[in-house]
Structure 1
Amino acid sequence: MADIIKLLPDHVANQIAAGEVVQRPASVVKELLENAIDAESTVIKLVVKDGGKTLIQVVDNGVGMSETDARLSFERHATSKIASAQDLFNLHTKGFRGEALASIAAIAHVDLQTRTESQELGTHIKIEGSKIVTQEVTASSKGTSLSVKNLFFNIPARRNFLKSNQVELRHITDEFHRVALAHPNIEFHFYNNGSEIFNLPKTKYRQRIAHIFGSRMENRLVPVNEETEVVKISGFICKPEFAKKSRGEQFFFANHRFIKSPYLHHAVIAAFEGLIKSDLYPGYFLYLEVDPSSIDINIHPTKTEVKFDDENTLYAILRSTIKHGLGQFNVAPALDFEHDPNLDTPYAYKERGAVLPKVSVDPSFNPFQEGAKGGGSNGNHSGFQKTSNKSWEELYEGLDTEIGVETFSSVSIESDGGGQESIILDDQASTHGVTTFQLKRKFVVSAVKSGMLVIHQARAHQRILFEKFLGEITVKEGVSQQLLFPLELTFSKQELGILKEIKQSLTSIGFAFENLEEETVKVTGVPLMVPESGIGTVLDHLIADYKEGFENDSSSQAEILAKALSKNLAVRTGDLLDKESQLALVNNLFACKEPNLSPFQKLTYTIISEGDINKKFI
């Protein structure tokens, strides 16, 4: 039998490795930024075009490379970070595998310019699909400039799987945030399609967070610090009242490297137990410093999944540190046994001012005059006149019609054409003959010919609003309510980018904005359904839901936006609905094109047949 095992050519092996290292343009950004940091750079510039599909360029002022190093850097497993296997247990650099540049060069057009401080001229190398096209001497500044063009040009199947430019840019921005937050001592610049998105000067951790996520974030942060023999913990957590419904600003850094750790994340959630609802997520920026020999980062090519030697101890220290931080800064409630609650002002009177007593005097009053409405010294003039009790029944006239207590005295039983008996509640029947009532503030129940109709009020309202908003976005006929006083809201640059992306759709349903180019946005108009007091909350949830939906859903922008709006504006379980609202919910639901399911593909109603009800009484 002939031999069937063969060695793969280098370009094929590089493409296979690229499938692990380079999943999307954001993966290239991560590798190039980390290489620039390992090169001891103090200023790093990132330039992106078309979501990274056309161009990704990273320029740094690091140590640079010689001619030989520049050529060897694109070979597989060629690295300056480690020399032996023992070095894997004492890593202080970002990269160490020597696969990144080789994998990138296998699936893109790469242009490298580099020069060391001791050289007068630099090196210029062009590579296309692992093949070196040109290598020449050139005049360049100290450091390295590496451009990656036409990503996946020789793997069209992989390129077709990429999302839209906006989604890919969002992933790139996330990677940029992770690197920039870990290194506040480095100056970063981020450009997209010729416009500057971020300009981050050298600063401290707190200011770096505020520069990235907006100035309003600085007031939400609570510092945490703890130093033990196992780990040194520093960073910030967000106050419980600013917890969000989506996983937003949650960052773990171990030895200045962004990591993902569900186990440590659970420690943070446990520390917030009792302070936030179970469906909310707190924000945190936590920096862990551990002994390099006690952490294994050589698990996955992306190096975000790590393994700690003693995770249980780390879990307990992290949880107690966050609890201590919450209590130290009076964020968590505390018991004060020396406090006298009797001296507290009642809640109902806290905002009420002092009221001066009013005295009214009748100057014509004579207590000695016979028949006066006053009191004398004898029993006939006690100072008070008894109110007449005549016609006291008048106090109770019409009271039976004013009290909103529903009685069942008016129940009548009639027979329909089929000979069956149906119950009609006269005092609850509408002009259309439809009877409804609310069950447990969760379901709306109504009688139908085949039995009993039970509607899930939250899901039904989501379906109604979804089709309403989807129609308004499509035909652009939304009604806007102009605000008498424009509302100013502050957003981060990433949130501003999402607002710009969906501005046209939001305008179609009634929103109106000003100054979308600045951090503070003026809201001048809102849809009729959005209360003025909840504009900020609705927009925050809308941005978070839209971001999450666009990454996990293949639907159009209009559908994702309509889903997000219907989710945030629909009635919820626990809301009390009056009779008119119940009837409107039933009628509007069955006027929808798809009344059976909510926008999130969950059942909106069910019908319990008369036969099923009869079986309960057998």
Structure 2
Amino acid sequence: MNNVIKQLDSEIVKLISAGEVIESPASVIKELVENSIDAGADSITVEIKNGGKSYIRVTDNGSGIDEKYVEEAFNKHSTSKISTIDDFNKLYTNGFRGEALSSVIAVSETSMTTKTKEQNYGISITYKNEKILEKVKVGTSDGTNIIVKNLFENVPARQKFLKSDKSEAMKITSYLVKYALAHPEVKFKYINNSKQIFQTYGTSDLMQTAKELFSEDFYNKALCVDIKINEDLSLTGLLGKNSLMYSSRKMQYIFVNGRIVHGQSIQKAIEEAYKKYIPANNFPMFFVNILVNPANVDVNIHPNKLEVKFENEQQILTQIKNAVSKQLDSSQMIAHIDNVFGLEKEDFTDIKSQYQEYKNEISKKNSEPLSTSSKLINTSDNKNPEQPPLKFEKVEVDGDYVYKIKNTDTLVKEDSYFSENANEFENKELDFKQSPLLENNSTPAPFFIPKETVTQENFSDKKATEPYFVDLTLLKYAGRIFDTYIILNDEKYMYLIDQHAAHERVLYEKFMKDFKTQEISTQGLLMPNRVTVPINLTDYSDKIIELLDKFGFDCDLFGDNIILIRSIPTYFSENQTELFVQRVFDSYLEEDAPSFDDIIINKIATKACKAAIKGLDTTVKNEEVDKLIFDLEHCENKYACPHGRPTITRLSKYEIEKFFKRIL
């Protein structure tokens, strides 16, 4: 073996350095697209062939490069993005190393055509193996066009490790989807082997961009958020509701100041906020951009710039988790059963002629005498399933509020779908309503609700304005099906409530309240449990006992390192006690040990699950249903059981009526 130490040849050094930045065709795309974004482009086109191995083209309408700097741009560590240490410590751009173009030309044949708006002509330059083959003036539009051919042709060892064309193209697609989500203000077009894969339109509307990328309308399934946490920290993006669950994290995208990052710690913090809404082994959807003061984040961890570190990271992660949790808690999380009958979207192109036909039919019916048995709902034993929208008046009784149904003497025909003015339909979507009758002498039905009624939105076929809240106690009880599901309805929707999941939520919050107020039920042990405190924790023995006491354990110290446990909380079994105490020890021994609060929460959730009404329970009475609905409405989180299963879902009146062809 030759033990002589010598400096590596400059050509080898260049290839090693290029390998840190350019690992695959996707790496080339990443660097070039980031340059385009930093250049202020609002339109970027990416074209590849053979998975990017033989051909890559990135075209933008950004600021371009001035003629005198074109060659300089390909030199290592040459950049227009930073010039001082202060710039480096407050990075607002994706790039800053000045390594991208120099790394690309080291492993490919590269040509660039660029023009600034101040120049009357553009410059085209071609490199192969870092040598200039051609440099000419050309006519071209403002911006930059870069073509990369035969990637790694001069590095066979690297070339043989590239995967199939399909796999490499998939990685490129993944990057471009991320950039499109991070920058909805930019128009992206992606072409693979002459076939357009996707195009976004740069509308700055993230919801619309997501629809263009995933061919799915997230309008009623996600929350568009813009949360200012403090002066140096904000969060924007989309948070999926609990109806959007996946078996993997494929629909989770995280950005920091618009930069793509491997944000596992952020991912974990956001998932923690979703725990109470999403069942175990399922993952929520979210596209979030963390906007943080650049001085508080370090992006210079790795040449690929995918790793970041925050100053006061744990504090920032906690703030992100709390902000997401608060947003979910304050939002309408009732899952809507989308298109349950497999119906196509309504076509309103010929709506005026439909309206005229319907108007003629109604006019004909108006000339006929009304039959109260078929046209009106005016008897208490009428079986017509269509019920009137209820109106309420609030009266204070004994310090509480009573809501009573108002009487009405308005008689409306059954088929009252359309307005009397056809012009209303020219420029607006239809709001299909029915107003069946409530008989004059209907008996007011009082019920106690200590909350104000929340007005719901007018329903529209194309885009229903999602109500943020629905007061379950103001819905009409319509019965139970399969001895498991409670049916409620108003004039817009039918709601289904899983009685077991709902009761589990109610009991869980009661047990948690008892726990937090130290009203914890305990069970004594015939013989005290002896637990040995690790030798390096004996100084913490008193604090450990104090902590165990907080969680409902009755224990004291025997000697220096023995804890005697005399009673335990009822939600623990005796053989689970040692596991929990060990978790307490771990919390002192390991800085990032899992929180032992999780054990308490899981135990209380299990206790609630076992005590709750079961499905297929034939003994449930209407009074119990009323109480359950009332209690559920007053839960902090009424939308999911403690294990994350949904408690409520709904189906719109529109979909039902469309299925039965009542809406043409």
TM class by shorter chain equals: 0.5 to 0.7
The equivalences for 1:522-537 within 5 A come to: none
Q: What secondary structure does 1:57 align onto?
A: strand
2:83 pairs with 1:74 = no
Aligned-partner residue type, residue 313 of structure 1: Q
Q: What secondary structure does 2:196 align onto?
A: strand
Q: In terms of mean alpha carbon deviation, does 131-140 or 297-306 score higher? A: 131-140
2:302 pairs with 1:300 = yes
The equivalences for 1:158-557 within 5 A come to: 158-203=158-203, 204-227=205-228, 228-331=230-333, 344=477, 346-348=479-481
Distance in 2, matches of 1:330 and 1:352, equals 17
1:107 aligned partner: 107
Work out whether residues 224 and 322 of structure 1, in 8 Å CA contact, stay in contact via their aligned partners in 2.
no
How far residue 121 of structure 1 moved from its aligned partner, in angstroms, is 2.2
1:59 aligned partner: 59
Q: In terms of mean alpha carbon deviation, does 343-352 or 145-154 score higher? A: 343-352
2:508 aligned partner: none
1:422 aligned partner: none
How far residue 315 of structure 1 moved from its aligned partner, in angstroms, is 1.6
Distance in 1, matches of 2:323 and 2:145, equals 42
Deviations 1:477-501 (A, max 9, x none): xxxxxxxxxxxxxxxxxxxxxxxxx
The 1:320/1:150 distance shift into structure 2, 3 A limit, reads same
Aligned-partner residue type, residue 202 of structure 2: K
Distance in 2, matches of 1:249 and 1:54, equals 30
Deviations 1:326-383 (A, max 9, x none): 22222189xx987879995553375699xxxxxxxxxxxxxxxxxxxxxxxxxxxxxx
1:131 aligned partner: 131
Aligned-partner residue type, residue 295 of structure 1: V
Aligned-partner residue type, residue 79 of structure 1: T
2:26 aligned partner: 26
Q: What secondary structure does 1:285 align onto?
A: strand
Distance in 1, matches of 2:488 and 2:67, equals 78
How far residue 285 of structure 1 moved from its aligned partner, in angstroms, is 0.8
Q: What value does the CA root-mean-square deviation take over the aligned residues? A: 2.6
Work out whether residues 478 and 487 of structure 2, in 8 Å CA contact, stay in contact via their aligned partners in 1.
no
The 1:70/1:273 distance shift into structure 2, 3 A limit, reads same
1:455 aligned partner: none
Q: Percent identity?
A: 34
2:37 aligned partner: 37
Aligned-partner residue type, residue 80 of structure 1: S
Unaligned segments of structure 1, at least 5 residues: 354-618
2:147 pairs with 1:14 = no
How far residue 301 of structure 1 moved from its aligned partner, in angstroms, is 1.1
Work out whether residues 230 and 314 of structure 1, in 8 Å CA contact, stay in contact via their aligned partners in 2.
no
2:116 aligned partner: 116
Deviations 1:43-91 (A, max 9, x none): 1111111110111101111121123311011111111111122211111
The 1:132/1:315 distance shift into structure 2, 3 A limit, reads same
The 1:216/1:340 distance shift into structure 2, 3 A limit, reads closer
1:608 aligned partner: none
Work out whether residues 78 and 98 of structure 1, in 8 Å CA contact, stay in contact via their aligned partners in 2.
yes
Work out whether residues 273 and 325 of structure 2, in 8 Å CA contact, stay in contact via their aligned partners in 1.
yes
Distance in 2, matches of 1:270 and 1:352, equals 31
Aligned-partner residue type, residue 227 of structure 2: E
Distance in 1, matches of 2:140 and 2:488, equals 72
Work out whether residues 222 and 237 of structure 1, in 8 Å CA contact, stay in contact via their aligned partners in 2.
yes
Distance in 1, matches of 2:27 and 2:219, equals 29
Aligned-partner residue type, residue 325 of structure 1: Q
Work out whether residues 112 and 124 of structure 1, in 8 Å CA contact, stay in contact via their aligned partners in 2.
yes
Q: In terms of mean alpha carbon deviation, does 312-321 or 94-103 score higher? A: 312-321
Work out whether residues 479 and 488 of structure 2, in 8 Å CA contact, stay in contact via their aligned partners in 1.
no
Q: What secondary structure does 1:263 align onto?
A: helix
Aligned-partner residue type, residue 206 of structure 2: Y
Work out whether residues 191 and 197 of structure 1, in 8 Å CA contact, stay in contact via their aligned partners in 2.
yes
Work out whether residues 153 and 159 of structure 1, in 8 Å CA contact, stay in contact via their aligned partners in 2.
yes
Work out whether residues 51 and 165 of structure 1, in 8 Å CA contact, stay in contact via their aligned partners in 2.
yes
Work out whether residues 207 and 218 of structure 2, in 8 Å CA contact, stay in contact via their aligned partners in 1.
no
Deviations 1:182-211 (A, max 9, x none): 111111111111121122112112211111
How far residue 248 of structure 1 moved from its aligned partner, in angstroms, is 1.0
Q: What secondary structure does 1:219 align onto?
A: coil
Aligned-partner residue type, residue 302 of structure 2: H
Q: What secondary structure does 2:219 align onto?
A: helix
Deviations 1:376-416 (A, max 9, x none): xxxxxxxxxxxxxxxxxxxxxxxxxxxxxxxxxxxxxxxxx
The alignment covers a number of residue pairs equal to: 350
Q: What secondary structure does 1:188 align onto?
A: strand
Distance in 1, matches of 2:218 and 2:3, equals 67
Distance in 1, matches of 2:334 and 2:327, equals 9
Q: In terms of mean alpha carbon deviation, does 256-265 or 53-62 score higher? A: 256-265
Unaligned segments of structure 2, at least 5 residues: 336-448, 452-471, 490-664
Which structure is larger by alpha-carbon Rg, 1 or 2? 1
Aligned-partner residue type, residue 13 of structure 1: V
Aligned-partner residue type, residue 226 of structure 1: I
Distance in 2, matches of 1:250 and 1:140, equals 39
Deviations 1:523-566 (A, max 9, x none): xxxxxxxxxxxxxxxxxxxxxxxxxxxxxxxxxxxxxxxxxxxx
Work out whether residues 225 and 321 of structure 1, in 8 Å CA contact, stay in contact via their aligned partners in 2.
no
1:84 aligned partner: 84
The 1:351/1:79 distance shift into structure 2, 3 A limit, reads closer
TM-score, normalised to structure 1, is 0.54
Q: What secondary structure does 2:238 align onto?
A: strand
The 1:2/1:258 distance shift into structure 2, 3 A limit, reads closer
Distance in 2, matches of 1:183 and 1:135, equals 33
Distance in 2, matches of 1:130 and 1:337, equals 76
Distance in 1, matches of 2:217 and 2:207, equals 12
How far residue 313 of structure 1 moved from its aligned partner, in angstroms, is 2.0
